[in-house]
Structure 1
Amino acid sequence: MTDAQGPTVLRYTAFATDPAGGNPAGVVLDATGLTDARMLEIAAEVGYSETAFVVPRPAEPDDFDVRYFSPLVEVPFCGHATVAAAVALGRPGTLRFHTPAGLVDVATTPTTATLTSVPTHATPAAPADVTAALRALGWSADDLDDRYPPHWAFGGSRHLVLAVRTRARLAALDYDFDALADLLRAHDAVTAQLVHQREEDVFDARDPFPVGGVVEDPATGSAAAAFGGYLRAIGRVERPRSVTIHQGVDLGRPSLLEICVAPDDPRVTVTGSAVPITG
């Protein structure tokens, strides 16, 4: 869709049922012909952590090419913009998003979407990386929950997973933007997935995103997928497991992400709601 000024950009918030919650995303439903430079320019103008650019495949009505741009860089996959775009398309059923990270199936209703990630994986973070992350975050090794070792985890894009022992430490997040950005960039990662286990299958999360020029994401679907793969990698998925992630609370934009992971499937499903932002 275009107008005299260029493509129409829809604004949705994902992983919430209230426009005041969740993570806002821009959505361009027909980005046919847009250059990389123009997509990056539009994403910067929108100012959200990501904008999804959708290109329909006329011969395959349920298939779409989708790319994701933050205000500073393109990322290979973005979960919240995927949920937003799927709902914005208004096509209940199963859609197929061809992303730079790979094929992502999205089961969609008028208000929700469940994405099935590309295969996830996770590897232990080197001690030097953990030390650098702790320095950037202003944390100490004693803040970490030793039940959950630090890992680099992939769920369409790469994330550094660190678990803390207390919710108070997570709530007090205040980090060195440039130092964390440098560490993440050096490992081709996009966010730090900082988590605290509230209950057995309930976690709180915060996701700094300095690589994209964003201090923090209120909801991060790719990190949620990566976290599911991380749980599987560290042996915490002995049977199919459903996990609830609360994110964005400390930003005043509460978000709810539901993930499902199985011991015999490297893919992870991530479910959330999306609603338009009006006004």
Structure 2
Amino acid sequence: MLRYFHVDAFAQTPFAGNPAGVCPLETPLPAALMQQIAAENSLAETAFFVPRAGTSAEFDLRWFTPTVEIDLCGHATLAAAHVLFQHLGFAGEQVTFHSQSGPLRVAREASGRLVLDFPSRPPQELTVHPTGLTDAIGATPLRVLAARDLLVVFNSEAEVLALNPNFARIAALEYVGVIATAPGSNGIDFVSRFFAPRVGVPEDPVTGSAHSSLIPFWAEKLGKTELRARQISPRGGDLWCRLRDGGRVDIGGYAVTYAAGELLLG
């Protein structure tokens, strides 16, 4: 029997932001079992964390989509920190998660907003675009760049909203996902959508890890280090962003618990 939380991340009310499953563990589980749990949950990611011996504020953290283990996930990290602060009596104001992408710190501000300290992954311009990209996303972007994910840039929010991607063709591209982005308006610096059918997530509602590439891109383009972002998926979500020295970014947002209970594993 495992404790289990369903948390809507990058949201202040239920039914918005990105839902994540969170399983606090006392001891590690086999990877195959964590993958089965994530598949059963059928959320973009399920996070599993276990305390590090001899520490009170450090945990080992892993994330699983319904089909694979992923190397970096923002919303499920935010959700895991929310569970620690709100449900498990964690008394500090900062927690450190150790992951495939190195140490990830999450700080709690006085307002209740949680701030992720994540690696920056600046995308690099591609002079040759991946074969089939235009057919996969259903439009021709202004620019195409790449880090872990492809980054396709458009003129306007309306163009990003209008995208009707072919998920089978996106899954055939040699990248974890495709980020579509454009300038924002009304106080929002940039907007985005994120498609990752290759790892079992056709369209992700709000993607913290994508902002590891979006923040350095838009910070350079707009000439500012603090930005407001919005992911314009059907659920939608708001992110407060900062480019820091030393190859790091801050990604801030709120989280709300939708459900809490137990997993009965037999």
Q: TM-score, normalised by structure 1?
A: 0.84
Residue identity in the other structure for 2:207:
T
1:24 aligns with: 19
Residue identity in the other structure for 1:191:
G
1:204 aligns with: 191
Q: Deviation of residue 99 (structure 1)?
A: 0.7
Task: Spell out the pairing of 1:81-230 with structure 2 (5 A cutoff).
Answer: 81-90=76-85, 91=90, 92-109=92-109, 111-129=112-130, 131-140=131-140, 144-145=141-142, 149-153=143-147, 158-183=148-173, 186=174, 189-199=175-185, 202-230=189-217
Q: Deviation of residue 190 (structure 1)?
A: 2.3
Question: For the aligned residues, what is the CA RMSD?
Answer: 2.0
Q: Deviation of residue 213 (structure 1)?
A: 1.4
- The aligned length equals 253
Cα distance between partner residues in 1 of 2:208 and 2:95: 17
2:30 equivalent to 1:35: yes
CA contact (8 A) 1:14 1:272 kept: yes
What secondary structure does 2:214 align onto? helix
Q: Deviation of residue 31 (structure 1)?
A: 6.0
Task: Spell out the pairing of 1:230-241 with structure 2 (5 A cutoff).
Answer: 230-231=217-218, 235-236=220-221, 238=223, 241=225
Cα distance between partner residues in 1 of 2:206 and 2:94: 23
Residue identity in the other structure for 2:227:
V
Cα distance between partner residues in 1 of 2:199 and 2:213: 18
Residue identity in the other structure for 1:161:
L
CA contact (8 A) 2:94 2:105 kept: yes
Cα distance between partner residues in 1 of 2:163 and 2:112: 32
2:61 equivalent to 1:66: yes
Q: TM-score, normalised by structure 2?
A: 0.88
Residue identity in the other structure for 1:175:
P
2:230 equivalent to 1:246: yes
Residue identity in the other structure for 2:124:
T
Cα distance between partner residues in 1 of 2:177 and 2:14: 24
Structure 2 gaps, min length 5: 261-266
Cα distance between partner residues in 1 of 2:198 and 2:137: 15
Cα distance between partner residues in 1 of 2:146 and 2:47: 25
Structure 1 gaps, min length 5: none
Q: Identity of aligned pairs, percent?
A: 32
1:273 aligns with: 254
1:75 aligns with: 70
Q: Deviation of residue 237 (structure 1)?
A: 6.4
Cα distance between partner residues in 1 of 2:177 and 2:207: 9
- Cα distance change of structure 1 residues 150 and 128 upon mapping to structure 2, 3 Å threshold: closer
